[in-house]
Amino acid sequence: MTPQQNTIDLLKELQSLPKECEWVEFKENNAQPQEIGEYLSALSNSACYHKKEYAYLVFGVEDATHQLTGTNFCPHQTKIGNQELENWLATQLNPRIDFNIYEFDYEDKHFVIFRISATRNTPVSFRGEYYIRIGSYKKRLNDHPERERKIWLVEKQNVFENEVAKENVSEDEVLRLLNYEKMFELLDKNVPSSADTILNKLKEYHFCRFEAGKWKITNLGAILFAYNFNHFPKLSGKSVIVRKFIGTNNRNMEFEHAVRNGYAAGFEALVDFIMLHTQKGEKRDVIRTNEYIYPKIAVREFVANALIHQDFTITGMPIAIEIFSDRLSITNPGASLNDINRLIDLPPYSRNEILANTMLLLRFCEKRGSGIDYAIEAVEKQGLPPVKFSKGEHHTRVVMFPSKPLSEMTKEEKVMACYQHACLTYEDNKTINNQSVRERFGIERRNSSIASRILADTFNAGFLKQSEPKNESKRYASYVPFYG
């Protein structure tokens, strides 16, 4: 179906709506820029209020009868001063909601459709004023506080995964844009020979839906199984970027690799790519094997967590995996919703519950809440320094470090390694002591005083408490995390 036919079908669909529809406005030629801007605010707010994805401002349709009359309004040729109308309108809206302008001819008449995204996070204003549709009238939102309150409540029900990544697609396009073969492989099922059966399975998992005679691919379907994010403009910034640098800083980059296919479709290849570029070299025993700087299970779990727990509302910040000579850094948009010192023991709180549950169903991560445990355990077994978790206002970062002798670890690294060891042990309903700390760091028994020093530093930093406070013996003291 051509874009021209899509807009004609949309015009007919809107024309068939009831006369008083609060998220659609029909006009003929009254195209004053100020009034258009007020309608963008009003219709966006009304679409949110009515739980619609879009609102529409249509020129060329008589309001009372919905008769197709055509219009002489040509927005792409209209300017405000030296500024194009579309750009002027966008700069006067707060927040800057998305809207598209479609101009086309049908039956020898000219039509214009503004497609306006429903607002998110807050009601949208135009030049400092908030508007909304009440019946067939445009009103100031401040005069209707009950509707404003409901807009905030409706926003809380918006779910990224259920929103539409691409609409008005044919059956063939759905099958061409989504890697359904990978989906069946992950589900351990044979690919059906019937297109209808494939589409029904995609619908069952909410990767697409069929509404009003048209197919729509959801964000969930695209983010997991897109052949290429570039086919989905809304998701084009959600690629994963892998960068490798020469040395310990980002001034000399060896390469940058963008992974543009869906997370589920490309996950294993992404992990293998990271492992390939974090090799120590080959170990030549009886069987030749590759040795890796970081344990694969840790890389896998931390990458999966970055994909699942990112904040999709943040634009211009893709997931970045950066390989340096002295560290592997994984950064995702969105500050962690959990305390970064409680990631091992607390159940995960995700912004994207549907995505998290689907990734779990597809076996990309361990059971909920155990992935970080497995990753830290693998790091300990390989004798690596502790994993560093950090978060900023708009990001979360996980950093792993190559193996190094205890003598080269900083005091802070020893403390955090001891604390993470205590968290893991506590999850097994056990305590840590001098012996377990020696085992964690590979300290010989004759150097037990070193383990005692690490325990004391971790205790003094507030990360540990004694499991039996009344026991005054330092030699036989055991500890649990501060939250235990």
Residues whose CB is less than 8 angstroms from the CB of residue 295 and which lie 6 or more positions away in sequence, other chains included: 375, 378, 379, 381, 382, 384
Do 191 and 322 belong together in one domain? no
264 within a domain of the structure (yes/no): yes
123 within a domain of the structure (yes/no): yes
Extended strands (E) in 164-318: 164-169, 208-211, 214-218, 240-245, 253-259, 279-284, 288-292
The sign of the CA dihedral 274, 277, 280, 281 is positive
Domain boundary among 158, 185, 210: 158
In terms of Cα–Cα distance, which of 442, 435, 327, 451 is closest to 382?
442
Helices (H) and strands (E) in the chain, counts: 15, 23
Do 268 and 364 belong together in one domain? yes
Do 433 and 383 belong together in one domain? no
**What is the domain-level CATH number for residue 112?**
3.30.950
139 strand-pairing partners? 132
Do 315 and 367 belong together in one domain? yes
Do 224 and 357 belong together in one domain? no
405 within a domain of the structure (yes/no): no
**Alpha-carbon dihedral of residues 463, 464, 465, 466, nearest 10 degrees?**
-170
- Give the separation between CA 309 and CA 328, rounded to whole angstroms: 19
In terms of Cα–Cα distance, which of 164, 137, 113, 121 is closest to 10?
113
458 within a domain of the structure (yes/no): yes
Do 273 and 378 belong together in one domain? yes
Domain boundary among 235, 264, 281: 235
Domain boundary among 400, 423, 454: 400
Do 245 and 349 belong together in one domain? yes
pLDDT tens, the chain, 484 aa long = 456 777 888 899 899 887 768 999 999 987 899 999 999 999 999 998 888 888 999 999 998 889 999 999 999 999 998 889 999 999 999 888 889 899 999 999 999 999 998 887 689 999 999 999 998 889 999 998 888 888 776 655 568 898 899 988 999 999 999 999 999 999 999 999 999 999 999 999 999 998 767 899 999 999 999 999 999 988 988 999 999 999 999 999 999 999 999 999 999 999 999 999 999 865 545 555 568 999 999 999 999 999 999 998 888 889 999 999 999 999 999 988 888 888 888 776 778 888 988 988 887 765 555 688 999 999 999 999 999 999 998 899 999 999 999 999 999 999 999 999 999 999 999 999 999 999 999 999 999 999 999 999 999 999 999 988 777 666 678 999 999 8
Residue 365 amino acid letter: C
449 within a domain of the structure (yes/no): yes
Do 246 and 393 belong together in one domain? yes
**What is the domain-level CATH number for residue 455?**
1.10.10
Number of other residues whose CB lies within 10 A of the CB of residue 342: 14
Task: Specify whether the CB–CB gap between 226 and 235 falls below 8 A.
Answer: yes
Task: Specify whether the CB–CB gap between 240 and 270 falls below 8 A.
Answer: yes
- Give the separation between CA 169 and CA 157, rounded to whole angstroms: 26
How many domains does the structure of the chain reveal? 4
Structural domain of residue 153, as residue ranges?
A: 3-158
Task: Specify whether the CB–CB gap between 67 and 136 falls below 8 A.
Answer: no
In terms of Cα–Cα distance, which of 436, 411, 410 is closest to 423?
436
Do 113 and 15 belong together in one domain? yes
Do 264 and 228 belong together in one domain? no
Question: What DSSP designation does 299 have?
Answer: H
215 within a domain of the structure (yes/no): yes
Q: Strand, helix or coil at 14?
A: helix
Task: Specify whether the CB–CB gap between 147 and 138 falls below 8 A.
Answer: no
**What is the domain-level CATH number for residue 296?**
3.30.565.60
142 within a domain of the structure (yes/no): yes
Angle in degrees, CA 16, 17, 20, rounded to 5: 140
The continuous run of DSSP H or E covering 322 comes out as: strand 319-324
- Give the separation between CA 295 and CA 400, rounded to whole angstroms: 10
Do 265 and 352 belong together in one domain? yes
Give the strand pairing for 24-27 and 54-59.
Answer: parallel
Tokens at 356, concatenated: 């998290």
In terms of Cα–Cα distance, which of 457, 422, 450 is closest to 436?
422
Task: Specify whether the CB–CB gap between 408 and 387 falls below 8 A.
Answer: no
Do 139 and 216 belong together in one domain? no
- Terminal CA-to-CA distance of the chain, rounded, Å? 61
